[in-house]
Structure 1
Amino acid sequence: MIATPDPFTRLRTAVACLLLVGTLAGCGGGAKPAAKDAPRQTVSVDQVALRNIGGGTAAAGRLVALEEVAVATDVSGYRVARVLVEEGARVPAGAPLAILDDSLLRSQIAQLEAQLVQQQVAAEQAAEQARRVDGLDSSGVLSSEAIAQRRFAARSTAASVNSTRAQLNDALVRRSHLVIRAPYAGTVIERTVRPGETASAGTAMFRMARDRLVEAYAEVPEAMAARLAVGDPASVKLASGRLLDGRVRLIGQRVDQTTGVVIARVALPIDPELRVGGFADVIFGGARTAPAVPDKAVRYDADGAFLMLVDARHRVHRVAVETGDRAGGYVELRKGPPVGSTVAVKGAAFTLDGDQVAIAQRSR
């Protein structure tokens, strides 16, 4: 038989249990302390500011004449007697370039001159005979038929004189065209004729560059052409490595459907080193001022380029941007935050949109 504890014993056991629980709670350290805030990411910052951007965009090109003309003869069948110039010759307007043999034409001109003299004498004689019958139409001295015959003879011989004179003038004009002359002042850039050849009308003998003016011809992508304007500065790097300063003279209005390029021409100063047909690198654009940030501040992902903008409460915000040219460690912002905005540079890669950051120092 189990004995039942008395009430006093039960009270004493309950008190002991309470004391044991309090002791164990005291050994456990009591309530847990509040958790500390996570450390902020430290970033360096810089500002969107106007900076000098080189802006140079290069394109392969070649040197061409500003205005080029093919010099040809307009007479055929005459032998080339002499060639007076070579490639590279600088000639004034009207200078003789080549001379065709005029021996056959000289004999023809002599024959026509002699024929003209004879016809002029005959015309004078016929005119005199016609003059003598003036007023005799009704006198009965000569028949009407004889009078009319003298008058017709005078008119016929006069017409023969005019015809021969026209033939002589044509021969003289052709003789003047046997001297091939420069249509304007310039430089001979090609000679295709040789002495002894037979000239053919319309066949080019020489090619000339007008006024010694040579320019650079380049083909640029459509996107680049959209940023160019007539008068923009450009530099042309010759094969020797020398740079010449020029200006954009012309921008094509048609995009090639096959290559997607647009032509651009750059006017250059007169220089003896410029040779038509030579290759050159054309660098469009010069130093200019544009909003820019350090290139390390720009980040990229699948959505494109962006910056981490820092507000007054030191919170960062993602801002999409469109970049342009680069120079001196800075990148141009064509689209993005305004000038004066603060952006995170170093450490920005470890931040997310909305994070609060600690500012270390301004980026240099």
Structure 2
Amino acid sequence: MNLTARAVLGLALGFTVLLAPEAPAQAQGGPSTVFVDPVIDEPLTQTSPVLGRLVARQRGVVAALTRGPVSEVTVDAGDRVAAGDIILRIALDRISQTRNLSAAQVDLARARVATAKAELELANLELVRLERLRQSAAFSQARYDDQAKAVQTKISEVGEAEAAVAAAIADLRIAEIDVRLAEVRAPYDGVIIERHTQRGAYVNVGDPVVTMINDQDLEVAAEVPSNRIAGLLPGRSVRVSFGPDRTVDAFVRAVIPEENGLTRTRSVRFTPALDELLGNSDQPLAANQSVTVQVPVSTLRNVISVHKDAVIPRGAGNIVFVAEDGKAQPRPVKLGGAVGARFIVLDGLKVGDLTIVRGNERLRPGQDITINSATEAGNAS
């Protein structure tokens, strides 16, 4: 064979070696390297979105508590006030004079008490004097009886005068309350959203002054389908979304025991953790703002679950390979619904079983395996 023929033959043999398929590890007798994930017992957290809204726990009309002409309104719509800030002042001319009159009535009533007590003392002295004459010829039983009745009358007059003092003091206190209530103050921290009166107007007790809202004390209200209420026990945690990258935890505060007959829903109130969001001036929160509540689909319970990558469809059912004593053993399984990246296990597996989630495509029952110890459950996908 000449040199050229030998060179061609060598190249052909080289290409044959390069193109020949590599023998699988199984054919070579070595164990197959697999990745595993344990069967776990975890809370069922399957949820469905429900539209809700923010509502203020403190919102309403601030009313006048006494009557009179308005001398000053210190706020306007949009102003922020703190609890105790003055919102409106009522002119004090008439109210102050009424208070002074009540104070004078108290002084007058006390003077009448003093007069009645002095007259009672004189009547008692006269009665004592007549009592001393009882053994003398100058004693008159009729006069004595009349004086005794006069003493009782004076005692009653003292009681009436003291009652008049109490009534006058009560009138004075009412007048002082009117003086204090002539300044209408904010009952809580909040924002004025509407003003109902102005300077020069006359207000009576109960007339609206302003409407205000506490935008720092907000909760979530959502109309939840009645078949989902069982999973919303007071105190249960849910997730509430206010938009992209604005999700917070919230807790069930109350389920209102009244069902909407048309929509078959019940109102549920949630207390959200809004500390982070309330301080965001770029995206301030507002009452009636729409939110999305992730409502649990059932009561809180634990379920056994297996990673979805461990499940292999076979015929009309599913199997899972389990790592046991260095070998891959198939298990038929009965599965329930999905929970994230896992399936609920109804039958066939127990907590702690190591299921093969990668490298299970070509496994044979009883095949030797080597577990990749660097794999974690969360990395199997």
1:277 maps to which residue?
288
In structure 1, distance between residues paired with 2:313 and 2:182: 71
Deviation at 1:170, TM superposition (A): 2.0
Correspondence 1:321 to 2:332: no
Number of matched residues? 290
How far 1:267 sits from its partner (Å)?
1.8
Match of 1:178 among 178, 182, 207: 182
Q: Does the alignment pair 1:165 with 2:169? A: yes
Q: Which residue of 2 aligns with 1:116?
A: 106
Instruction: Name the SS for the 1:132 alignment partner.
Output: helix
Q: What displacement does 1:237 show?
A: 1.6
Matched with 1:194 is: 197
Counterpart Cα distance in 2 of 1:295 and 1:255: 45
Q: So what's the TM-score if we normalise by structure 1?
A: 0.59
Q: Find the aligned partners of 1:293 and 1:101 in 2 and give their Cα distance.
A: 76
Q: Answer yes or no: is 1:333 the counterpart of 2:328.
A: no
* Residue in structure 2 matching 1:309, options 306, 319, 328: 319
Q: In the alignment, does 2:68 pair up with 1:78? A: yes
SS in 1 for 2:127: coil
Distance 2:361 2:159 in 1: 112
In the alignment, which residue of structure 1 is the partner of 2:11? none
What code does the residue aligned with 2:288 have? G
- CA separation of 1:219/1:309 partners in 2, compared to 1, >3 Å: closer, same or farther? same
Amino acid at match of 1:274: L
Structure 1 unaligned regions, length at least 5: 1-45, 300-305, 346-357
Matches of 1:156 and 1:253, distance apart in 2: 55
1-structure distance, mates of 2:151, 2:40? 103
Distance 1:336 1:95, change over 3 A: farther
Cα 1:337–1:96 shift into 2, 3 Å? farther
1:213 paired residue among 209, 217, 229: 217
Q: What SS is found at the alignment partner of 1:137? A: helix
Query: Cα offset for 1:244?
Result: 3.7
**Superposition deviation, residue 205 in structure 1:** 4.4
**CA distances 1:155-176 after superposition (whole Å, capped 9, x unpaired):** 4444333322222222222332
Letter aligned with residue 272 of structure 2: A
CA distance in 1, matches of 2:225, 2:310: 25
Q: Who is 1:261 aligned against?
A: 265
Q: Secondary structure at the match of 2:171?
A: helix
Identity of counterpart residues, as a percentage? 13
Deviations 1:283-336 (A, max 9, x none): 458xx995341599689xxxxxx743368999996x65331344xxx4543646
Distance 1:335 1:81 in 2: 75
Amino acid corresponding to residue 234 of structure 1 in structure 2? R
CA deviations 1:61-104 (Å, max 9, x no partner) are: 11123x32646447454344444445562514x44443334433
Change (3 A) 1:107 1:255: closer
Q: Which has the larger radius of gyration?
A: 1
**1:221-260 aligned within 5 A:** 221-227=225-231, 230-238=235-243, 241-250=244-253, 252=255, 254=257, 256=259, 258=261, 259-260=263-264
Structure 2, unaligned runs of 5 or more: 1-35, 134-142, 297-301, 323-327, 365-379
For 2:79 and 2:289, how far apart are their aligned partners in 1? 14
Distance 1:337 1:181, change over 3 A: farther
TM-score calculated relative to the size of structure 2? 0.57
**CA distance in structure 2 between the partners assigned to 1:276 and 1:208 by the alignment:** 9
Identify if the C-alpha distance between structure 1 residues 290 and 158 changes in structure 2 by more than 3 Å, giving closer, same or farther: same
Q: CA RMSD in A?
A: 4.8
